[in-house]
Structure 1
Amino acid sequence: MTKVTLTVNGRRMSADCDDRTILVNFIRDKLALTGTHVGCDTTQCGACVVHMDGKSVKSCSVLAVQANGSEITTIEGVAADGELHPVQAAFKENHGLQCGFCTPGMVMTSIDMIRRHGGQLDEATVRHELEGNICRCTGYHNIVKSVLSAAADMNAKQAAE
């Protein structure tokens, strides 16, 4: 057993785990943050995406011990002051979800995508960037629409500041 200490959603958290424990299971089972979903355990579906040290990662591809000392943001940590993150709000407004299983990973991937591209996105870029996230319900149309809407909203707010 190894003690792993992370800063998760702004809070320092520690727990003991086996050296083979993957980060997604550590987050869900040891830290009781169940918004991050376990899909395939093989990095193909994207349901487990979190931000580690500011970048999106598939948490099923990282051992918890590898993340020791890192700053992690999960889906539970993106809303602020009772307000949905602009990407979460756009998914809600544009019907970018159906069953909701892939939604946390889609939202986390989209937040990072918007940050990396400075909000300058087009449909082709969004579709390409989301290739690592699988949705079996929506056909992606409203997910892409949601990401583009969020990017536009975030750009407008930034320009107004």
Structure 2
Amino acid sequence: MARSRGRSLCAGGRCPDTYLIRGDSCGSWREGRFFMYGLRVALWGVAIGAFGLILTMNGTGSFDQVLIFLLLVLVVLCPAFGELYAARRKQRDWYVRTFTSFDELRQSVDVLPLRRIRDCEGVAEAVHELKKRYPLLPVAEAAKLVRSL
């Protein structure tokens, strides 16, 4: 299947392409890569701006502790949220591209070894074993699969 920038190639109700733009038949503008990168850049920009304000306030001697604390929170949390969003988005995109449904995921997994691990060592260990085989599989989907065995 060919990939093209700017338009999606929908097959069977699935969008294998993440280059969707506003007006595509299978998704909104939020599904495109430019939204993910734009959000990350904006959050990093807020963090860098807050850090610049901290340096400016420290250099001029106007030291308001509450404002400095709030700016430090922005410096730490904005990039963290941006990178967390990107990682979750990468997992979700991989899962949608790789498996059309939960049943397809279930068919691709060796059920007996996972069931044995779940029964002997617990659900968490079985999810860990499944994540070794499929590192980008979302944890919620892995747990759902292990519980349904």
State whether TM-score is above 0.5. no
User: Greater share of helix residues, 1 or 2?
Assistant: 2
Asked which structure has the greater CA Rg, the reply is 2
TM score, norm. by length of structure 2? 0.29
User: Greater share of strand residues, 1 or 2?
Assistant: 1
Of structures 1 and 2, the one with the larger relative CO (CA 8 A, separation 6+) is 1
